[in-house]
Structure 1
Amino acid sequence: MTLKRNRLLAIVGATSVLALAACSSSTGNGGGEPADVPGVTDTTVTIGTHQPLTGPAAAGFASVSAAAKAYFDYINDNGGINGRTIEFVVKDDGYNPANTQTVVRDLVLQEDVFALIGGLGTPTHSSVLDFLNDNEVPDLFVASGSGMWDQPEKYPYTFGYNSDYVTESAILADYAQKEFPDAKYCLFGQDDDFGDDFEAGLTEILGEDGLAASERYSVANQDVVAQISAMKAAGCEVNFLASINAFTALGVGTAAKLGYFPQWMSSSSGGDYQTLAGFLGEAAPQLLEGFISTFYLSMASGDDEWITLFREVNEKYNGGVEFDGNQVYGMTMAYMFAEALAGAGENPTRESLVEAVQNGSVKGTGIVPLGFSESDHSGALGVQLSIVKDTVQAYFGTPYVYEDGSVVVYEGEQPAVTNKGIPGGK
């Protein structure tokens, strides 16, 4: 895997194509009649996603697609994008790559979707990368921090969403070195590219011998006693987590049963307090006190203008379910697609949709910049650290980006809510 650096330069580079975009297909195929485009009619745009509505990742992530649909419903009730409403087809893959291949083929060949958004999971989505790109289907905002999504020459239709795992882990490791300089560092990670990428970022900061132990789990086996016992035996004091929420909770809970209470530092993919508390129950306040995690979107416990809007949408369109990081994640994903669709023009094509993402139309809602350009298809370029205190998960410090092997403070501003969060409005 190529570990890309200096991605902030991609944002500057993106501006160079804006003038070209204005002269080419930024209005789709012009002002005439819409072309025969899959998933697009005069009044609707149909898109799809694969999500773990069942299986080992469901408890942590099944609510993401419901939150995205709620935001699309909000947009549709306010006139849609360029006069079209967005129809969102969600297929359950159970976090199983074989199922992912089946449901994605169905979305493309049977449902005839215009684009795929937010396909969730590294092992699952990697199994359909070639299929989607071979069929020239826009594959936007993959819900994973793998570096695979950032290969524009090989996969020109695929774009990331999350901060990549190398960036997350490098920023966590940098903080750990400063706050726990004499500790033994270890990794508990998924046995795929998720764990591999996360470990790569850790070793870039800590050195090749910086980890006292690296233990991996399989999502097919919900017994992690052997891994946690090995970390305890190795004397691990600061444990980095490259795990989805279900296995973060499993690891923390298993450690507690073994009388083992290290400092936990997690990827955003498995670090949402409310989700973890759902697994750990009454023990959560004690077991997760001081839990550190990375994020790149507004914190669900906050009160900024995006959270205010998302809470309103959640109440009206999502049944008022408990509001946590999954709702923020899903609604931001929906907003980003709406930005791309607005940028694709009045008569959008798959090509103009991809161009809209590359030319800077998509700003998102996050606290760090996005890396979209012709040469960079990564998502969020950095993270900020959060900590749990008295059951409240909140940011501390400043946002950071990772460039040229160094952790750098990001001083830019978060995009503002405009036109009530409906892209394309005046």
Structure 2
Amino acid sequence: MLAINLRLGAFSAALALLAATSSGALAQKKYDTGATDTEIKIGNIMPYSGPASAYGVIGKTEEAYFRKINAEGGINGRKINFVSYDDAYSPPKTVEQVRKLVESDEVLLVFNSLGTPPNTAIQKYLNSKKVPQLFVATGATKWNDPKDFPWTMGWQPNYQSESQIYAKYILKNNPNAKIAVLYQNDDYGKDYLKGFKDGLGTKAASMIVIEESYEVSEPTIDSHIVKMKATGADVFFNITTPKFAAQAIKKNAEVGWKPLHFLNNVSGSIGSVMKPAGFENGQDIISSQYFKDPTDAQWKNDAAMKAWNEFLDKYYPEANRADASVMYAYIVAQGLVHVLKACGDDLTRANVMKQAASIKDLEVGGLLPGVKVNTSATDFAPLSQLQLIRFKGETWERFGEILSGDVGG
């Protein structure tokens, strides 16, 4: 009997050994170009120069955050190698830089490249190469199209949802409004305008008295403001990037035009828009937000805000903490780290997209209470909630409920 038990014991041990070696074989590390046992190479393109250079701090904040992650041991033992290039917000330059990232630097993925026209210029290329174009820094609605572009995913609430929220507010509170719209003449501006018109519905044609577009190459939009004021419009929807947003706010004050002013949230930064425009000129402007404003005293003792300040103290002390772009970058960088951690030892491009499309109720430091990150195989819009904010004194004040737009992919 003892001999049988011994034999059974040996047999069990052999089985256990076999199981262990089999699972070891199954759990083999898998890598695509850009990932190794020690490194994950991430590509990025930012307008460090040119008309949208105010956004360059996004790339600098991300670089600082990845330094923090590396100092703390990296991701599953691997260090992030963050390669970021300047495209000056010029699509032909973006194409040149993305080819360099993919073909020369051999990055695993392209992360948070900024701007609608620049990302549009590289979307087909990255999808044909099956390289993730992950968490693009633009709210264009078209990034949520997993069927046609399975390698591209947005991050922030999309522009059409945001402008629908403003339209609903106007219909409720100013049903007889005469609306002037200023928009950048590209995909970004047109996306906002479409959502706004959809939100106004059948009343769009009668309520919008002027649609004025400007080119990103124009030095100033002053003449457009004068033209819009002359229409007698009493509501102004300002669809501009930071440089032009600050100009518009300042010019409105100069010419004494005081409409109810809606400003798209991509230009809601106190540091790069409201302060340069003059706080006194920005009073009562309405915008929207999905993350905490660092200048808002209500977050002074907030744990997430304290963590943010500690990160900046150590890794990016020269950052302008009043610049919303710094908080935006901190939030999206946490999103990428979450995805890469979830990949484990399967750092293939396909698994990066699989994990990015499997986020459930993720709460990231810096988001407003109640705002969560969610994705699925059919929903490539990680964030879809916003809260209206109004500029008072030298800061934004939140009002109303957390809202969701109606726009999907």
TM-score by length of 2: 0.87
Q: Where does residue 4 of structure 2 map in the other structure?
A: none
1:298–1:306 CA contact under 8 A, matched in 2 = no
Deviations along 1:260-302, one digit per CA (max 9) or x if unpaired, are: 222221111112122114533xxx1111111211111222224
How far 1:259 sits from its partner (Å)?
2.5
1:159–1:378 CA contact under 8 A, matched in 2 = yes
Alignment of 1:34-73 (within 5 A): 34-58=29-53, 60-73=54-67
- Matches of 1:395 and 1:404, distance apart in 2: 23
- Matches of 1:66 and 1:225, distance apart in 2: 31
Q: Where does residue 385 of structure 1 map in the other structure?
A: 388
Say what the alpha-carbon RMSD is for the aligned residues.
2.0
Q: Where does residue 329 of structure 2 map in the other structure?
A: 330
How far 1:82 sits from its partner (Å)?
0.7
Q: Where does residue 232 of structure 1 map in the other structure?
A: 229
1:183 aligns with 2:177: yes
**Which of 281, 286, 292 matches 1:292?**
286
Deviations along 1:200-242, one digit per CA (max 9) or x if unpaired, are: 2212222331312111111111232332122101111111122
Greater shift in the superposed pair: 370-379 or 97-106: 370-379
2:319–2:326 CA contact under 8 A, matched in 1 = no
1:373 aligns with 2:376: yes
Q: Where does residue 214 of structure 1 map in the other structure?
A: 211
Task: Evaluate the alpha carbon distance shift between residue 230 and residue 371 of structure 1 in structure 2; reply closer, same or farther with a 3 A threshold.
Answer: farther
Deviations along 1:315-355, one digit per CA (max 9) or x if unpaired, are: 11012422131111111111000000011122311111111
2:229–2:257 CA contact under 8 A, matched in 1 = yes
**Which of 289, 313, 316 matches 2:314?**
316
Aligned residue type for 2:238: L
Q: Where does residue 414 of structure 1 map in the other structure?
A: none
1:381–1:402 CA contact under 8 A, matched in 2 = yes
1:339–1:362 CA contact under 8 A, matched in 2 = no
- Matches of 1:75 and 1:364, distance apart in 2: 18
- Matches of 1:137 and 1:278, distance apart in 2: 39
1:64–1:326 CA contact under 8 A, matched in 2 = yes
Runs of 4+ in 1 over 4 A off after TM superposition: none
1:49–1:118 CA contact under 8 A, matched in 2 = yes
2:101–2:107 CA contact under 8 A, matched in 1 = yes
Deviations along 1:59-96, one digit per CA (max 9) or x if unpaired, are: x2111111111211111111111111111111000000
**Which of 262, 269, 276 matches 2:273?**
276
- Matches of 1:127 and 1:398, distance apart in 2: 36
Task: Evaluate the alpha carbon distance shift between residue 216 and residue 265 of structure 1 in structure 2; reply closer, same or farther with a 3 A threshold.
Answer: same
Percent identity over the alignment? 29
Which of these two proteins has the greater Rg computed from alpha carbons?
2
Deviations along 1:169-192, one digit per CA (max 9) or x if unpaired, are: 011121223333333222111111
2:140–2:188 CA contact under 8 A, matched in 1 = yes
- Matches of 1:134 and 1:153, distance apart in 2: 14
Gaps of 5+ in 2: 1-22
1:347 aligns with 2:342: no
Task: Evaluate the alpha carbon distance shift between residue 364 and residue 143 of structure 1 in structure 2; reply closer, same or farther with a 3 A threshold.
Answer: farther
- Matches of 2:381 and 2:374, distance apart in 1: 5
Deviations along 1:127-183, one digit per CA (max 9) or x if unpaired, are: 000011111111111111112211111110110012111100011121223333333
Q: Where does residue 27 of structure 2 map in the other structure?
A: 31
2:34–2:42 CA contact under 8 A, matched in 1 = yes
Deviations along 1:10-67, one digit per CA (max 9) or x if unpaired, are: xxxxxxxxxxxxxxxxx9x9522x3342111111111011100000010x21111111
- Matches of 2:199 and 2:132, distance apart in 1: 35
Aligned residue type for 1:66: K
Higher relative contact order (CA 8 A, sep 6+): 1
How far 1:362 sits from its partner (Å)?
7.8
2:183–2:214 CA contact under 8 A, matched in 1 = yes
- Matches of 1:77 and 1:228, distance apart in 2: 49
3-state SS, counterpart of residue 153 of structure 2 = strand
Aligned residue type for 2:86: D
Greater shift in the superposed pair: 112-121 or 230-239: 230-239
Task: Evaluate the alpha carbon distance shift between residue 269 and residue 44 of structure 1 in structure 2; reply closer, same or farther with a 3 A threshold.
Answer: same
Deviations along 1:85-131, one digit per CA (max 9) or x if unpaired, are: 11111100000001100111111111111111111001111000001
TM-score by length of 1: 0.83
Aligned residue type for 1:359: S
**Which of 92, 96, 102 matches 1:102?**
96
| Bigger proportion of residues as helix | 2
Q: Where does residue 255 of structure 2 map in the other structure?
A: 258
1:117 aligns with 2:115: no
1:104–1:128 CA contact under 8 A, matched in 2 = yes
Task: Evaluate the alpha carbon distance shift between residue 30 and residue 113 of structure 1 in structure 2; reply closer, same or farther with a 3 A threshold.
Answer: farther
- Matches of 1:352 and 1:362, distance apart in 2: 20
Task: Evaluate the alpha carbon distance shift between residue 146 and residue 30 of structure 1 in structure 2; reply closer, same or farther with a 3 A threshold.
Answer: farther
- Matches of 1:279 and 1:109, distance apart in 2: 40
3-state SS, counterpart of residue 30 of structure 2 = coil
1:299–1:395 CA contact under 8 A, matched in 2 = no
3-state SS, counterpart of residue 202 of structure 1 = helix
Q: Where does residue 14 of structure 1 map in the other structure?
A: none
Task: Evaluate the alpha carbon distance shift between residue 185 and residue 128 of structure 1 in structure 2; reply closer, same or farther with a 3 A threshold.
Answer: same
Gaps of 5+ in 1: 1-26, 406-426
1:263–1:291 CA contact under 8 A, matched in 2 = yes
The alignment covers a number of residue pairs equal to: 373
- Matches of 2:312 and 2:173, distance apart in 1: 37
